[in-house]
Structure 1
Amino acid sequence: MPWNKRFDQQEVLERALDTFWAQGYTATSIQDLVDRMGINRASLYDTFGDKQDLFLAALRAYDENHRAAWLRELDALGSPLEALRRVFHDWVDAVEQERTPSGCFMVNTSLERAPHDEAVREHVARAQQALADFFGRKIDEAQRAGEVPVEMNADAAASSMLATFMGMLVMARSGADPEALRGTAEGAIARLG
Protein backbone atom coordinates (compact mmCIF):
# COMPACT_ATOMS: atom_id res chain seq x y z
CA MET A 1 0.00 0.00 0.00
CA PRO A 2 1.54 3.35 -1.00
CA TRP A 3 2.30 5.85 1.69
CA ASN A 4 0.03 8.92 1.65
CA LYS A 5 1.34 12.28 2.75
CA ARG A 6 -0.70 13.80 5.53
CA PHE A 7 0.29 17.38 4.99
CA ASP A 8 -0.40 20.14 2.51
CA GLN A 9 2.77 20.62 0.43
CA GLN A 10 2.06 24.29 -0.25
CA GLU A 11 1.44 24.99 3.42
CA VAL A 12 4.66 23.33 4.60
CA LEU A 13 6.57 24.98 1.75
CA GLU A 14 5.28 28.36 2.93
CA ARG A 15 6.54 27.51 6.44
CA ALA A 16 9.94 26.65 4.99
CA LEU A 17 9.91 29.95 3.12
CA ASP A 18 9.10 31.81 6.34
CA THR A 19 11.99 30.06 8.07
CA PHE A 20 14.51 30.82 5.33
CA TRP A 21 13.16 34.37 5.14
CA ALA A 22 13.59 34.98 8.87
CA GLN A 23 16.94 33.23 9.34
CA GLY A 24 18.61 33.08 5.94
CA TYR A 25 19.81 29.95 4.19
CA THR A 26 23.08 29.47 6.06
CA ALA A 27 21.64 29.92 9.56
CA THR A 28 18.72 27.56 8.89
CA SER A 29 19.37 23.96 9.84
CA ILE A 30 17.45 20.92 8.68
CA GLN A 31 16.17 20.59 12.25
CA ASP A 32 14.88 24.19 12.12
CA LEU A 33 13.00 23.30 8.95
CA VAL A 34 11.61 20.04 10.35
CA ASP A 35 10.43 21.85 13.49
CA ARG A 36 8.89 24.79 11.62
CA MET A 37 7.35 22.73 8.82
CA GLY A 38 5.87 20.19 11.23
CA ILE A 39 7.00 17.20 9.16
CA ASN A 40 9.70 14.61 9.74
CA ARG A 41 13.06 14.49 7.98
CA ALA A 42 12.05 11.59 5.76
CA SER A 43 9.00 13.51 4.53
CA LEU A 44 11.08 16.62 3.92
CA TYR A 45 13.67 14.73 1.87
CA ASP A 46 11.08 12.60 0.07
CA THR A 47 8.93 15.58 -0.89
CA PHE A 48 11.45 18.36 -1.50
CA GLY A 49 14.90 16.78 -1.74
CA ASP A 50 17.80 18.26 0.20
CA LYS A 51 18.03 21.68 1.87
CA GLN A 52 19.17 23.31 -1.37
CA ASP A 53 16.24 21.83 -3.32
CA LEU A 54 13.82 22.98 -0.63
CA PHE A 55 15.35 26.46 -0.69
CA LEU A 56 14.94 26.69 -4.47
CA ALA A 57 11.31 25.52 -4.14
CA ALA A 58 10.75 28.19 -1.48
CA LEU A 59 12.37 30.81 -3.71
CA ARG A 60 10.09 29.84 -6.62
CA ALA A 61 7.06 29.95 -4.30
CA TYR A 62 8.06 33.40 -3.06
CA ASP A 63 8.55 34.61 -6.59
CA GLU A 64 5.15 33.41 -7.77
CA ASN A 65 3.04 33.95 -4.63
CA HIS A 66 4.54 37.23 -3.51
CA ARG A 67 6.50 39.16 -6.14
CA ALA A 68 4.70 38.09 -9.31
CA ALA A 69 1.24 38.22 -7.70
CA TRP A 70 1.95 41.73 -6.41
CA LEU A 71 3.09 42.93 -9.84
CA ARG A 72 -0.03 41.43 -11.46
CA GLU A 73 -2.14 43.38 -8.97
CA LEU A 74 -0.26 46.60 -9.76
CA ASP A 75 -0.47 45.89 -13.49
CA ALA A 76 -4.26 46.05 -13.22
CA LEU A 77 -4.28 49.64 -11.92
CA GLY A 78 -5.65 52.18 -14.37
CA SER A 79 -2.78 54.64 -14.23
CA PRO A 80 0.71 53.39 -15.12
CA LEU A 81 2.26 56.18 -13.07
CA GLU A 82 0.17 55.13 -10.08
CA ALA A 83 1.37 51.54 -10.53
CA LEU A 84 4.97 52.77 -10.44
CA ARG A 85 4.28 54.90 -7.39
CA ARG A 86 2.64 51.95 -5.64
CA VAL A 87 5.68 49.69 -6.21
CA PHE A 88 7.67 51.97 -3.97
CA HIS A 89 4.97 52.99 -1.51
CA ASP A 90 3.59 49.48 -0.98
CA TRP A 91 7.05 48.39 0.07
CA VAL A 92 7.56 51.37 2.39
CA ASP A 93 4.13 50.71 3.92
CA ALA A 94 5.10 47.07 4.50
CA VAL A 95 8.32 48.16 6.24
CA GLU A 96 6.47 50.75 8.30
CA GLN A 97 3.82 48.25 9.39
CA GLU A 98 6.51 45.61 10.02
CA ARG A 99 4.86 43.14 7.63
CA THR A 100 8.32 42.23 6.35
CA PRO A 101 10.53 42.32 9.44
CA SER A 102 13.27 40.36 7.70
CA GLY A 103 13.29 42.52 4.56
CA CYS A 104 12.71 41.31 1.01
CA PHE A 105 13.39 37.59 0.64
CA MET A 106 14.66 38.00 -2.92
CA VAL A 107 17.13 40.73 -1.91
CA ASN A 108 18.26 38.76 1.14
CA THR A 109 18.79 35.77 -1.13
CA SER A 110 20.67 37.81 -3.71
CA LEU A 111 23.06 39.05 -1.04
CA GLU A 112 23.53 35.75 0.80
CA ARG A 113 23.27 33.00 -1.83
CA ALA A 114 23.56 34.39 -5.36
CA PRO A 115 27.33 34.92 -5.22
CA HIS A 116 27.81 31.24 -4.33
CA ASP A 117 25.05 29.40 -6.16
CA GLU A 118 24.45 29.48 -9.92
CA ALA A 119 20.80 28.31 -9.71
CA VAL A 120 19.98 31.00 -7.16
CA ARG A 121 21.90 33.64 -9.14
CA GLU A 122 19.91 32.78 -12.28
CA HIS A 123 16.61 32.89 -10.41
CA VAL A 124 17.42 36.24 -8.81
CA ALA A 125 18.49 37.64 -12.19
CA ARG A 126 15.18 36.54 -13.76
CA ALA A 127 13.21 38.11 -10.91
CA GLN A 128 15.14 41.37 -11.21
CA GLN A 129 14.65 41.37 -14.97
CA ALA A 130 10.92 40.83 -14.52
CA LEU A 131 10.80 43.87 -12.24
CA ALA A 132 12.86 45.93 -14.69
CA ASP A 133 10.51 44.83 -17.49
CA PHE A 134 7.53 45.88 -15.37
CA PHE A 135 9.11 49.30 -14.78
CA GLY A 136 9.91 49.69 -18.48
CA ARG A 137 6.43 48.65 -19.57
CA LYS A 138 4.76 51.02 -17.11
CA ILE A 139 7.02 53.92 -18.11
CA ASP A 140 6.19 53.25 -21.77
CA GLU A 141 2.47 53.15 -20.94
CA ALA A 142 2.81 56.35 -18.89
CA GLN A 143 4.48 58.04 -21.86
CA ARG A 144 1.61 57.02 -24.15
CA ALA A 145 -0.89 58.25 -21.54
CA GLY A 146 0.87 61.60 -21.26
CA GLU A 147 1.88 60.98 -17.63
CA VAL A 148 5.62 60.92 -18.38
CA PRO A 149 7.57 62.91 -21.01
CA VAL A 150 7.94 60.97 -24.26
CA GLU A 151 11.55 62.14 -24.59
CA MET A 152 12.55 60.03 -21.59
CA ASN A 153 14.51 56.87 -22.35
CA ALA A 154 12.18 54.23 -20.85
CA ASP A 155 14.89 51.56 -20.60
CA ALA A 156 17.33 53.85 -18.80
CA ALA A 157 14.57 55.11 -16.48
CA ALA A 158 13.50 51.52 -15.73
CA SER A 159 17.08 50.56 -14.93
CA SER A 160 17.41 53.56 -12.61
CA MET A 161 14.13 52.71 -10.90
CA LEU A 162 15.25 49.11 -10.39
CA ALA A 163 18.53 50.25 -8.84
CA THR A 164 16.71 52.71 -6.58
CA PHE A 165 14.15 50.11 -5.53
CA MET A 166 16.78 47.45 -4.83
CA GLY A 167 18.78 49.98 -2.84
CA MET A 168 15.70 50.85 -0.81
CA LEU A 169 15.17 47.16 -0.02
CA VAL A 170 18.74 46.85 1.25
CA MET A 171 18.31 50.05 3.27
CA ALA A 172 15.08 48.70 4.76
CA ARG A 173 16.82 45.46 5.73
CA SER A 174 19.46 47.57 7.49
CA GLY A 175 16.80 49.35 9.54
CA ALA A 176 16.41 52.60 7.59
CA ASP A 177 13.72 54.97 8.76
CA PRO A 178 10.49 54.52 6.76
CA GLU A 179 10.24 58.28 6.22
CA ALA A 180 13.69 58.32 4.62
CA LEU A 181 12.58 55.43 2.41
CA ARG A 182 9.40 57.32 1.53
CA GLY A 183 11.52 60.32 0.52
CA THR A 184 13.66 58.10 -1.69
CA ALA A 185 10.50 56.68 -3.26
CA GLU A 186 9.15 60.15 -3.98
CA GLY A 187 12.46 61.13 -5.53
CA ALA A 188 12.37 58.10 -7.84
CA ILE A 189 8.88 58.99 -9.05
CA ALA A 190 9.71 62.70 -9.36
CA ARG A 191 12.64 61.86 -11.68
CA LEU A 192 10.07 60.59 -14.18
CA GLY A 193 9.19 64.19 -14.82
Structure 2
Amino acid sequence: MPKVETFDKELVLKKATNVFNDKGFNATSMQDLVDATALNRSSIYNSFGNKLDLFLECLKSYQGVYTIKISETLHKGQNPLHAIELLFKFYINEIVEDKDNMGCLITNCTSEMANQDKSIDKFLNDNQRSFIALLEELVRKGQKESIINLNKTANEYAWYLFTSILGFRTIGIMISDKKELKSIAKTITQTLI
Protein backbone atom coordinates (compact mmCIF):
# COMPACT_ATOMS: atom_id res chain seq x y z
CA MET A 1 0.00 0.00 0.00
CA PRO A 2 1.49 3.38 -1.03
CA LYS A 3 2.33 5.90 1.66
CA VAL A 4 -0.01 8.84 2.04
CA GLU A 5 1.61 12.28 2.06
CA THR A 6 1.15 13.87 5.47
CA PHE A 7 2.42 17.33 4.60
CA ASP A 8 1.19 20.39 2.75
CA LYS A 9 2.70 19.94 -0.71
CA GLU A 10 2.17 23.58 -1.72
CA LEU A 11 3.88 24.81 1.45
CA VAL A 12 6.82 22.47 0.86
CA LEU A 13 7.11 23.68 -2.75
CA LYS A 14 7.03 27.29 -1.57
CA LYS A 15 9.80 26.66 0.96
CA ALA A 16 11.89 24.76 -1.59
CA THR A 17 11.28 27.52 -4.15
CA ASN A 18 12.65 30.09 -1.70
CA VAL A 19 15.82 28.02 -1.25
CA PHE A 20 16.30 27.52 -4.99
CA ASN A 21 15.64 31.19 -5.67
CA ASP A 22 18.04 32.28 -2.93
CA LYS A 23 20.93 29.91 -3.71
CA GLY A 24 20.30 28.81 -7.28
CA PHE A 25 19.85 25.21 -8.34
CA ASN A 26 23.51 24.23 -8.44
CA ALA A 27 24.40 25.64 -5.00
CA THR A 28 21.33 24.14 -3.30
CA SER A 29 22.09 20.91 -1.50
CA MET A 30 19.64 18.23 -0.44
CA GLN A 31 20.46 19.20 3.14
CA ASP A 32 19.36 22.77 2.38
CA LEU A 33 16.04 21.38 1.15
CA VAL A 34 15.68 19.10 4.18
CA ASP A 35 16.33 22.05 6.50
CA ALA A 36 13.91 24.37 4.68
CA THR A 37 11.05 21.92 4.25
CA ALA A 38 11.42 19.99 7.54
CA LEU A 39 11.03 16.79 5.52
CA ASN A 40 13.60 14.03 5.67
CA ARG A 41 15.51 13.03 2.54
CA SER A 42 13.47 9.90 1.94
CA SER A 43 10.21 11.90 2.07
CA ILE A 44 11.59 14.35 -0.48
CA TYR A 45 12.80 11.55 -2.76
CA ASN A 46 9.57 9.55 -2.39
CA SER A 47 7.32 12.55 -2.96
CA PHE A 48 9.23 14.54 -5.56
CA GLY A 49 12.04 12.38 -6.94
CA ASN A 50 15.52 13.84 -7.14
CA LYS A 51 16.61 17.47 -6.70
CA LEU A 52 16.01 18.25 -10.37
CA ASP A 53 12.49 16.83 -10.24
CA LEU A 54 11.75 18.94 -7.15
CA PHE A 55 13.18 22.01 -8.89
CA LEU A 56 10.91 21.41 -11.90
CA GLU A 57 7.92 21.08 -9.55
CA CYS A 58 8.92 24.40 -7.97
CA LEU A 59 9.23 26.04 -11.39
CA LYS A 60 5.80 24.78 -12.45
CA SER A 61 4.19 25.89 -9.20
CA TYR A 62 5.86 29.32 -9.46
CA GLN A 63 4.77 29.61 -13.09
CA GLY A 64 1.19 28.74 -12.14
CA VAL A 65 1.05 31.47 -9.50
CA TYR A 66 2.50 34.08 -11.86
CA THR A 67 0.29 33.05 -14.77
CA ILE A 68 -2.73 33.90 -12.62
CA LYS A 69 -1.21 37.18 -11.40
CA ILE A 70 -0.25 38.26 -14.92
CA SER A 71 -3.65 37.30 -16.31
CA GLU A 72 -5.39 39.33 -13.58
CA THR A 73 -3.09 42.29 -14.29
CA LEU A 74 -3.68 42.22 -18.05
CA HIS A 75 -7.46 41.99 -17.63
CA LYS A 76 -7.39 45.33 -15.80
CA GLY A 77 -6.07 47.04 -18.93
CA GLN A 78 -8.43 49.45 -20.65
CA ASN A 79 -6.79 48.53 -23.95
CA PRO A 80 -3.80 46.41 -25.06
CA LEU A 81 -1.22 49.18 -24.61
CA HIS A 82 -2.55 49.98 -21.15
CA ALA A 83 -2.40 46.25 -20.32
CA ILE A 84 1.30 46.17 -21.30
CA GLU A 85 1.95 49.26 -19.17
CA LEU A 86 0.17 47.57 -16.24
CA LEU A 87 2.34 44.51 -16.75
CA PHE A 88 5.45 46.64 -16.24
CA LYS A 89 3.86 48.29 -13.20
CA PHE A 90 3.23 44.80 -11.83
CA TYR A 91 6.91 43.91 -12.32
CA ILE A 92 8.01 47.20 -10.75
CA ASN A 93 5.96 46.42 -7.64
CA GLU A 94 7.38 42.89 -7.55
CA ILE A 95 10.94 44.26 -7.71
CA VAL A 96 10.38 46.97 -5.10
CA GLU A 97 8.70 44.52 -2.70
CA ASP A 98 11.50 41.94 -3.13
CA LYS A 99 13.49 43.03 -0.07
CA ASP A 100 15.90 40.09 -0.39
CA ASN A 101 16.67 40.90 -4.07
CA MET A 102 16.08 37.30 -5.09
CA GLY A 103 14.41 38.15 -8.39
CA CYS A 104 12.22 35.91 -10.49
CA LEU A 105 12.79 32.16 -10.19
CA ILE A 106 12.21 31.58 -13.91
CA THR A 107 14.49 34.44 -14.98
CA ASN A 108 17.15 33.24 -12.56
CA CYS A 109 16.75 29.69 -13.87
CA THR A 110 17.20 30.94 -17.43
CA SER A 111 20.53 32.55 -16.59
CA GLU A 112 21.75 29.62 -14.49
CA MET A 113 20.32 26.51 -16.09
CA ALA A 114 19.48 27.11 -19.76
CA ASN A 115 21.10 24.43 -21.93
CA GLN A 116 22.15 22.34 -18.89
CA ASP A 117 19.28 19.88 -18.88
CA LYS A 118 16.67 18.88 -21.48
CA SER A 119 13.77 19.01 -19.03
CA ILE A 120 14.75 22.52 -17.92
CA ASP A 121 15.19 23.61 -21.55
CA LYS A 122 11.74 22.26 -22.39
CA PHE A 123 10.16 24.09 -19.46
CA LEU A 124 11.90 27.37 -20.34
CA ASN A 125 11.08 27.08 -24.06
CA ASP A 126 7.43 26.26 -23.36
CA ASN A 127 7.21 29.19 -20.94
CA GLN A 128 8.84 31.48 -23.50
CA ARG A 129 6.50 30.37 -26.31
CA SER A 130 3.36 30.90 -24.26
CA PHE A 131 4.47 34.31 -22.97
CA ILE A 132 5.47 35.50 -26.44
CA ALA A 133 2.12 34.30 -27.82
CA LEU A 134 0.35 36.30 -25.11
CA LEU A 135 2.40 39.42 -25.86
CA GLU A 136 1.94 38.97 -29.61
CA GLU A 137 -1.84 38.81 -29.21
CA LEU A 138 -1.81 42.00 -27.12
CA VAL A 139 0.31 43.82 -29.69
CA ARG A 140 -1.82 42.56 -32.58
CA LYS A 141 -4.98 43.86 -30.87
CA GLY A 142 -3.26 47.16 -30.13
CA GLN A 143 -2.21 47.50 -33.75
CA LYS A 144 -5.76 46.78 -34.95
CA GLU A 145 -7.01 49.47 -32.58
CA SER A 146 -4.30 51.86 -33.89
CA ILE A 147 -2.83 52.45 -30.43
CA ILE A 148 0.35 50.47 -31.15
CA ASN A 149 2.33 51.46 -34.22
CA LEU A 150 2.92 49.24 -37.25
CA ASN A 151 6.68 49.87 -37.43
CA LYS A 152 7.28 46.20 -36.53
CA THR A 153 5.15 43.08 -36.77
CA ALA A 154 3.26 41.88 -33.72
CA ASN A 155 5.75 39.01 -33.43
CA GLU A 156 8.75 41.34 -33.57
CA TYR A 157 7.27 43.56 -30.86
CA ALA A 158 6.38 40.49 -28.78
CA TRP A 159 10.02 39.37 -28.88
CA TYR A 160 11.13 42.92 -28.07
CA LEU A 161 8.83 43.01 -25.05
CA PHE A 162 9.81 39.52 -23.92
CA THR A 163 13.54 40.28 -24.00
CA SER A 164 12.90 43.67 -22.37
CA ILE A 165 10.96 41.99 -19.56
CA LEU A 166 13.76 39.46 -19.02
CA GLY A 167 16.28 42.28 -18.85
CA PHE A 168 13.99 44.33 -16.64
CA ARG A 169 13.53 41.44 -14.21
CA THR A 170 17.29 40.80 -14.17
CA ILE A 171 18.29 44.42 -13.58
CA GLY A 172 15.60 44.57 -10.90
CA ILE A 173 17.85 42.45 -8.70
CA MET A 174 20.33 45.35 -8.65
CA ILE A 175 18.04 48.37 -9.02
CA SER A 176 14.99 48.71 -6.82
CA ASP A 177 14.45 52.47 -7.11
CA LYS A 178 10.85 52.84 -8.24
CA LYS A 179 11.49 56.09 -10.11
CA GLU A 180 14.33 54.56 -12.14
CA LEU A 181 12.31 51.44 -12.88
CA LYS A 182 9.34 53.52 -14.04
CA SER A 183 11.63 55.47 -16.36
CA ILE A 184 13.02 52.25 -17.88
CA ALA A 185 9.51 50.82 -18.32
CA LYS A 186 8.30 54.03 -19.95
CA THR A 187 11.19 53.97 -22.42
CA ILE A 188 10.33 50.37 -23.32
CA THR A 189 6.61 50.96 -23.81
CA GLN A 190 7.03 54.26 -25.70
CA THR A 191 8.63 52.29 -28.53
CA LEU A 192 5.18 50.85 -29.22
CA ILE A 193 3.45 54.22 -29.64
In the superposition, the TM-score normalised over structure 2's length comes to: 0.90
Partner of 2:6: 6
Unaligned runs of 5+ in 2: none
Q: Does 1:183 align with 2:183?
A: yes
User: Offset of 1:75 from its aligned partner?
Assistant: 3.5
Partner of 1:73: 72
Alpha-carbon separation, structure 2, partners of 1:178 and 1:27: 31
Matches for 1:40-55 after TM superposition, within 5 Å: 40-55=40-55
Partner of 2:30: 30
Alpha-carbon separation, structure 2, partners of 1:128 and 1:2: 37
Partner of 1:62: 62
Partner of 2:88: 88
Partner of 1:15: 15
Unaligned runs of 5+ in 1: none
Matches for 1:107-122 after TM superposition, within 5 Å: 107-122=107-122
- 4+ aligned runs moved over 6 Å, structure 1: none
Q: 1:160 to 1:3 in 2, by over 3 A?
A: closer
Q: Does 1:125 align with 2:125?
A: yes
User: Offset of 1:3 from its aligned partner?
Assistant: 3.5
Alpha-carbon separation, structure 1, partners of 2:55 and 2:114: 12
User: Offset of 1:151 from its aligned partner?
Assistant: 5.7
Number of aligned residue pairs: 192
Alpha-carbon separation, structure 2, partners of 1:100 and 1:91: 15
Alpha-carbon separation, structure 1, partners of 2:4 and 2:131: 39
Report sequence identity in percent: 26
Alpha-carbon separation, structure 1, partners of 2:146 and 2:33: 50
Partner of 1:172: 172
User: Offset of 1:156 from its aligned partner?
Assistant: 1.0
Q: Does 1:154 align with 2:182?
A: no
Q: 1:146 to 1:100 in 2, by over 3 A?
A: farther
Contact 2:12–2:37 (8 Å) recurs in 1: yes
User: Offset of 1:165 from its aligned partner?
Assistant: 1.2
User: Offset of 1:187 from its aligned partner?
Assistant: 0.9
What do residues 101-126 of structure 1 show as CA deviations (whole Å, max 9, x unaligned)?
20111110011111311211121121
User: Offset of 1:88 from its aligned partner?
Assistant: 1.3
AA of the residue aligned to 2:149 = P
Q: Does 1:137 align with 2:126?
A: no
